[in-house]
Amino acid sequence: MSKTPLQFRHNGRDVAIFVDGGTNLLVALRELIGDMTPKFGCGQGGCGTCSVLIDGELHLSCLTLAETVAGRSVETLDGMKQGPNLHPLQRAFADAFAAQCGYCTPGMLMAAKALLDRNPSPSRADVVEAISGNICRCTGYESIINAILAASGGRASA
Amino acid sequence: MAVTVKTFASSNEAATALSSDRTARYLGGGTLVMRALNEGDVSISTVVRASDQALTRIDASGPRITLGAGVTFARVLAERDLAFLHAPARSIGGPAVRNMGTVGGNLFAPNPYGDFAVALLALDATVAVQGGFGSRDIAIEEFLQSRERQSGALVLSVSCTRPASADAFRYRKVARIKPKGGSVITLAAHLPISGGRIAGARIALGSMAPTQIRAKAAERALEGRVLDAATIAAAASAVTEGTAPSDNALGSAWYRREIVGVHLRRLLSGQE
Ligand SMILES: Cc1cc2nc3c(=O)[nH]c(=O)nc-3n(C[C@H](O)[C@H](O)[C@H](O)COP(=O)(O)OP(=O)(O)OC[C@H]3O[C@@H](n4cnc5c(N)ncnc54)[C@H](O)[C@@H]3O)c2cc1C
Ligand code: FES
Ligand code: FES
């Protein structure tokens, strides 16, 4: 089976790799680019921990055929921090104890970023909706919701 | 196992590639195809894609609307002219699934999925398909009944007539986990009114048979009537006729038969 060349933007940097037919984006990111921030949870679309932004839109990397991101921009948690500083969402997660084992955290942060990029002052219901595709086994969600509200312009409603 | 990915610029070429290879599967948003590949489904050895712009076109300005098969639920939700389809689109998955999953893929989604197709069935939609033989339009009911035999044909678009008023079309998905759980049952009702009476009633059900079905006995109970309590009760008691639900992790067949009439009554009487 021949490999297919694939080029795309990964956290603002151009990357070029060769993929096997049918490779999903999660495998391409972790095994071929070495970006371990998107996690493998289920491989079925059910947990959301592999979430990334493709051209700014939230997608599940485990269900994305790698070849479909050719020429597009992919953002992962690895690209979130701002220079040496944490992104406000990352800081809010740490401050609000929104991560326990941390397995869901990369996907939660990407889902939260997708929301705040579009709507800087979300309501609590907007936040609940935005993370509804992401499963957390540890926190019971409240601390995550509070962290996202705290990082948003809608701070007052936290 | 690696598969061969073939990407075509035109839907014509993609349709030819699909119809000539039994191991080929079309990739829409991939939410089900990629899951199958991740699980090691060896029946797929070729994945066919089409980058044809026509597949992602939305025509929502007139009384008849057309959605390209590749239109995602997020795009349906972003279109103000498609407000009548927002409830079914919003009921599917979480935000990432709605950004990826397509209208065309939903027509093939097995139980407990296919929620958008339930809405389209109640709206008497037409499915435009292209096979090795050329393209043709099929009524959605016939399409869904013969779905197993449709593999190898490419869906180009679906179209339907816009309901006359917001009240004429109603949709409800019953799920245990909100907002994104799988369907216990899904109901859609189109109730056009002519001279104060229902004319052309359509009731469609999801998860009540191997594919989405029309509840024809309930439709007959509504036809030509005024939508009052007696008519609603008659429709609700007829709604299980012809259904064949199955047991799954979301609900038993018995439970589905018990609750479908209750939910139809609530839907028709405008209750939450
Ligand atoms: C976590 C999760 C939650 C979900 N929740 C729901 C839900 O609540 N309700 C629901 O209805 N669905 C749900 N789904 C299922 C699925 O996402 C949707 O049904 C979606 O519409 C499928 O579209 P797709 O484009 O992703 O399909 P794909 O995976 O690309 O394709 C599915 C099937 O359709 C065929 N196909 C796709 N497009 C065409 C075409 N144009 N012509 C011919 N064949 C085609 C493919 O070959 C394949 O056999 C969920 C899925 C996941 C992973
Ligand atoms: S690993 Fe992708 S959704 Fe679970
Ligand atoms: S912190 Fe453990 S899964 Fe969310």
- Give me the DSSP letters along B38-89: HTT-TT--EEEEE--GGGG-EE-SSSEEEEETT-BHHHHHH-GGGGGGHHHH
Residue written as token pair 């199955």: B246
Ligand in nearest proximity to the CA of A42: 2
Residue A51 to chain B, least CA–CA distance (Å): 8
Name the residue in chain A with its Cα closest to that of B37: A22
Tell me which chain A residues have a C-beta less than 8 angstroms from the C-beta of B180: 132-133
Residue written as token pair 């060896």: B42
Residue written as token pair 């409830």: B87
Pocket test for ligand 2, best of A60, A105, A136, A137 (most atoms within 8 A of CB): A60
In Å, what is the CA distance from B145 to each residue of B141, B149, B189, B211, B214?
6, 9, 19, 7, 11
Residues with CB under 6 A from ligand 3: A 99-104, 136-139
Q: Taking CB atoms and an 8 Å cut-off, how many pairs form between chains A and B?
A: 84
Name the residue in chain B with its Cα closest to that of A67: B5
* Predicted pLDDT of residue A1: 62
Within chain B, which residues score under 70 in pLDDT?
A: 1, 151
Residue B218's H or E segment, with its range, is helix B216-222
Centroid of chain to Cα A84: 19
**For the purposes of burial, counting CB atoms within 10 Å of the CB of B156, is it exposed (0-12), middle (13-18) or buried (19 or more)?**
buried
Sheet holding B24-26: strands in order across? B4-8, B46-50, B24-26
CA of A45 to the centre of ligand 1 (A): 11
* Predicted pLDDT of residue B147: 84
Joined together, the tokens standing for residue B127 give: 């499915």
Coil vs helix vs strand at A7: strand
- In ligand 1, which atom is closest to the CA atom of B173? 8
- In ligand 1, which atom is closest to the CA atom of B175? 8
CA separation for the pair B135, B122 (Å, rounded): 24
Strand pairing partners for A10? Answer: A13, A74
Centroid of chain to Cα B232: 24
Q: Give the Cβ contact number of residue B237 at 10 Å.
A: 15
The answer to whether residue A64 neighbours chain B at the CB level (below 8 Å) is yes
pLDDT per residue, tens digit, chain A (158 aa), is: 689 999 999 999 999 999 999 999 999 999 999 999 999 999 999 999 999 999 999 999 999 999 999 999 999 999 998 889 999 999 999 999 999 999 999 999 999 999 999 999 999 999 999 999 999 999 999 999 999 999 997 554 43
**Are B27 and A65 inside 8 Å of each other by CB?**
yes
Which region holds residue A16: left if phi is over 0, alpha if psi is between -120 and 50, else beta? beta
CB B89 within 8 A of CB B73: yes
The answer to whether residue B7 neighbours chain A at the CB level (below 8 Å) is yes
CA end-to-end span of chain A, whole Å?
53
In sequence order, what are the residues at sequence separation of 6 or more whose Cβ sits closer than 8 angstroms to the Cβ of residue A113?
A53, A75, A80, A87, A89
CA of B207 to the centre of ligand 2 (A): 25
**Are B49 and A21 inside 8 Å of each other by CB?**
no
Strand pairing partners for B128? Answer: B137, B157
| Amino acid letter for position A117 | D
* Predicted pLDDT of residue A154: 57
Q: Could you tell me the pTM of the whole model?
A: 0.96
CA separation for the pair B218, B77 (Å, rounded): 30
Residue written as token pair 């030509």: B224
Any ligand 2 atom below 6 A from CB of A25: no
In Å, what is the CA distance from A109 to each residue of A142, B168, B260?
15, 40, 39
